């Protein structure tokens, strides 16, 4: 695994701001780029990305929006690169773990999913990643085996993911069962209930309730 990370670092590019923040041990928060390319139309997608970065800054941390430009794993996208993601939209490749070798080898652009962002964040030395809803087990997943790669990544990759739970269209109960099987701790902040992306209520409990960031 150490050699894998070392190999990935050859393809890693930091923005100046993110590199300086990591060197000076400032708080850095990774952000995904699939929400820009596949989440909403242009220019609202770019406006949203900028607003999310501002929210991180307002909280006292440095945002590192993660994506792939010309085959380079970027820890921190520039405004021009965020614009590329937004304008290219769904024509840009959505990159999970399986897609990274192809996109690097072909020197393509790529927008990173939760799994893809976690991998690059860990390689870059960024321990915290904030996003909207993670993927999970789809309804009927016990028959179709349609399970998001995000869930395996949560078990493999040493990055804390702060999110609004799993997307409400998924099978929340099976998603939590899968996370338990993979040994992933699920912590709910100031509540016991696991959220479902756009709602605080899913009808399912998280593993643990914690009330402060320090406790988490």
Cis peptide before 43 (omega within 30 of 0): yes
Q: How far apart are CA 111 and CA 205, in angstroms?
A: 32
Cβ proximity of 123 and 9 under 8 Å:
yes
Cβ proximity of 111 and 85 under 8 Å:
yes
Q: Which of 32, 53, 83, 122 is catalytic?
A: 32
Q: How far apart are CA 118 and CA 151, in angstroms?
A: 11
Q: Which of 175, 99, 77, 98 is nearest to 134 (CA)?
A: 175
How many Cβ atoms sit within 10 Å of the Cβ of residue 30? Answer: 28
Q: What tokens does 214 get? A: 């320090």
Q: Which of 9, 167, 209, 215 is catalytic?
A: 167
Q: Is 83 designated active site?
A: no
Q: Is 53 designated active site?
A: no
SS3 assignment, position 123: helix
Q: Is 183 left (phi over 0), alpha (psi -120 to 50) or beta?
A: left
Q: How far apart are CA 146 and CA 150, in angstroms?
A: 12
Active site residues: 32, 167
């Amino acid at each position: 695994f150490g050699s894998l990370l070392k190999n990935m670092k050859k393809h890693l590019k930091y923005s100046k701001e993110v590199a300086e923040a990591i060197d000076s041990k400032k708080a850095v928060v990774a952000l995904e780029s699939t929400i820009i390319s596949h989440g909403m139309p242009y220019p609202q997608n770019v406006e949203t990305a900028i607003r999310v970065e501002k929210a991180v800054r307002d909280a006292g941390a440095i945002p590192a929006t993660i994506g792939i430009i010309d085959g380079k794993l970027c820890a921190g996208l520039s405004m021009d690169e965020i614009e590329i993601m937004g304008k290219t939209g769904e024509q840009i490749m959505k990159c999970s773990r399986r897609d990274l070798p192809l996109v690097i080898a072909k020197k393509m652009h790529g927008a990173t999913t939760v799994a893809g962002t976690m991998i690059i964040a860990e390689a870059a030395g960024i321990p915290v990643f904030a996003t909207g809803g993670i993927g999970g087990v789809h309804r009927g997943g016990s028959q179709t085996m349609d399970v998001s790669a995000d869930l395996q990544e949560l078990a493999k990759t040493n990055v804390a993911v702060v999110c609004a739970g799993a997307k409400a269209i998924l099978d929340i109960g099976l998603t939590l069962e899968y996370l338990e099987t993979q040994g992933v701790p699920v912590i709910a902040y100031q509540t016991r209930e696991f959220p479902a992306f756009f709602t605080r209520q899913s009808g399912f409990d998280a593993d643990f309730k914690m009330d402060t960031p320090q406790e988490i």
